[in-house]
Amino acid sequence: MSSILPSDAIGRRILCNTEYATVQYVGSVPPTKGIWIGVEWDNPLRGKHDGNHEGIQYFKCRHPTGGSFIRPDKVNFGVGFLTAVKNRYGLNDEQDVAYGKDNVLVLGKKTVELVGFDSILEEQSQLHKLENISVRECAVSHAGQKEEISRTCPNIKSIDLSKNLLSSWETVIDIASQVQNLEILHLSENKMKFPSAATPVSGTFDKLRVLALNRTGITWVEVLLCAPGWPALEELYLASNDITVLERPTNVLQTLKLLDLSSNQLIDGNQLHLIAHLPRLEKLILSDTGISSVHFPDAGFGCKTKMFLSLKHLVVDNNKISQWSFVNELDKLQSLESLNCWNNPLGPEKSPETLRQLIIAKIGQLKFLNKSEILPQERKGAELDYRKMFGNEWLAAGGHQDPDKNRPQEEFLAAHPRYQLLCLKYGAPEEGELKRQQPFTLKNQLLTVTIKCPDKPDQKPMEKKLPDSMTIQKVKGLLYRLLKIPGSELKLSYESSKMEGKEIELDNDLKSLQFYAIENGDCMLVRW
């Protein structure tokens, strides 16, 4: 640890053993002698007081036990960027690298045998060739000598500077200004001071595409003040910061494709309107933000909003979403394809499988739900289930199979915006589908069904009594035993005695006979 006290010590980030802190005071603390450094620890349990000693307030802390006084020789004020790079990649000012014969690498006076890693070590040792550099947790606090980085590492494109001792955005600029082709920059877990007023655009970050500022303490106002300097930014990570209020970005962040606001307490979903017109935003991460509702007022039932026109991926895990109106609103998004919504109190009485079916049925264009692909067969089954599940409610609200009489109340349409569309897609639910289930007895559950093979005239029709809870998959298993035809080759459909001439395909092996509204006297058709 360095015992040299910098002239700009106050406000600097420091490391003491393994604990991080910010310097808040430098000076004497009577009656003791010598210089003390007053620090506010990142971990408030590490301290002993709030900056007050024997009635004198030397500095202030956000937590009553967040402060301590420590001697300068116990403090690490960090190292320059290039020093950290050389230490991380096995080089320093006293060592030269030489390559001998037979896969042998000489580091100073040490000889290391290379076994399969010679190309990697050679690239790492040749700093001027490095494009991707990680100095995470290397106590970097400043840029070092002027132009030293650009001379030594001219080809850097990606830097990981997370969890270091960077105290201000100006320090970041000092480092980045020496990296002409910087595209990716990770700065997470550096508690920094950011500009409080607009600053001149320098061109330092003209090629920057990815920027991570998680756990840096940045606010949204500070983001917008810095954003003019990020003209090509595509991905911005702002998780776990002090962002509670959003403002509309004006002429900034227009190239952004991904925005991560997770673990910021936004709470009010209507704040999202302020970022709804970022033209290229494709992915929005809002996990653990406390949101419970969202509303797109420019679009009515069954219509599409003009907000978030490019949004394809939305992540809202670990929130307080308990109302289905939230899911209904998401169907208004024109481009939404993927939704993650784990750990929300949405229908806690329903099974995960039922919740998945309902969400799929309510968001028509969704292709992935909780990272699992929605296949066409699953969508069809979910939509048919939904159409049947709420059929009686639809009828009670004024729904009708006759299009001229079909006028459901607004209250129903608000709760089920896609129901009318599903009726157009699959037909209005039939009376047989919506009949109330009779009391459970074996007699009531058995259906008498005639089984015919229309393409095999020599095969005589068979009459069987089947439980209405029997799945199509089990029916195929029964037919395999009867006909000796593998179930995978069988194609089933049925004709209802109430709908002459209409053949209904039994295309979902997991559904029951009751689901398809098969009744006594119906005819099951078997083809292979």
B/e letters for 412-437, b = 16+ CB within 10 Å, e = fewer, are bbebbbbbbebbeeeebbbeebbeee
Distance CA 228, CA 94 (A): 42
- Over residues 418-470, the pLDDT tens digits come to 999 999 999 988 766 676 544 444 445 788 999 999 998 888 999 999 988 88
| Of residues 279, 271, 215, the one with CA closest to residue 252 | 279
Task: For the chain, give the mean pLDDT.
Answer: 89
pLDDT at residue 322, as a whole number: 95
In this structure, are residues 51 and 36 in contact, taking their beta carbons and an 8 Å threshold? no
Q: How many helices (H) and strands (E) does the chain have?
A: 14, 27
Distance CA 430, CA 384 (A): 12
Sorted by sequence, the CB contacts under 8 Å of residue 43 that are 6+ apart come out as 19, 20
Bridge partners (DSSP) listed for residue 104: 113
pLDDT at residue 320, as a whole number: 95
Distance CA 29, CA 279 (A): 56
Look at strands 13-16 and 19-27 and give their pairing: antiparallel
Look at strands 503-505 and 491-495 and give their pairing: antiparallel
Structural domains in the chain, CATH included, are 12-76 (2.30.30.190), 79-92+121-377 (3.80.10.10), 388-426 (no CATH), 446-527 (3.10.20.90)
Sorted by sequence, the CB contacts under 8 Å of residue 187 that are 6+ apart come out as 161, 162, 166, 172, 211, 212, 213, 216
The total of other beta-carbon atoms located within 10 Å of residue 64's CB is 13
- Over residues 199-250, the pLDDT tens digits come to 888 899 999 999 999 999 999 999 999 999 999 999 999 999 989 999 999 9
pLDDT of 180 higher than 70? yes
CA quadruple 164, 166, 172, 174: dihedral, nearest 10: -110
- Over residues 243-284, the pLDDT tens digits come to 999 999 999 999 999 999 999 998 788 899 999 999 999 999
pLDDT at residue 519, as a whole number: 85
Q: Please give the share of the chain, as a percent, with pLDDT higher than 70.
A: 90
